[in-house]
């Protein structure tokens, strides 16, 4: 929907996917993560076999400067590996 350049509001997306506008905002916020963080998350593998990070766990990273996000992710994944 967004990838083809179609202009859609967050409210439209929320209705289409049956979620709240706030949830759409949370999910779209992940697009602001540092590229290194996105690559590191991708390298974690299939999240369905063993979830290691969640969107909720990643939200605090968005408040950090981009250059601090990779080390914060490392700390986050180190803690989740212990549980």
Question: The dihedral of CA 15, 46, 76, 63: what is its sign?
Answer: negative
Question: Could you list the mean pLDDT of each consecutive 10-residue stretch along the chain, which spans 83 residues?
Answer: 69 92 93 93 76 84 94 84 55
Q: Quick one: 56 and 81 in the same domain?
A: yes
Q: Quick one: 21 and 42 in the same domain?
A: no
- Residue 82 is classified by DSSP as H
The confidence score (pLDDT) of residue 50 equals 66
What is the domain count for the chain?
2
Domain extent for 3 = 1-32
Q: Quick one: 28 and 52 in the same domain?
A: no
Q: Quick one: 65 and 38 in the same domain?
A: yes
């Amino acid at each position: 929907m967004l990838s083809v350049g179609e202009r859609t509001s967050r409210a439209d997306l929320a209705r289409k996917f049956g979620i709240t506008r706030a949830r759409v905002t949370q999910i779209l916020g992940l697009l602001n993560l540092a590229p290194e963080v996105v690559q590191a998350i991708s390298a974690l593998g299939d999240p369905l076999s063993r979830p290691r990070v969640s969107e909720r766990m990643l939200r605090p990273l968005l408040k950090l400067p981009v250059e601090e996000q990779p080390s914060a992710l490392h700390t986050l994944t180190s803690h989740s590996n212990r549980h």
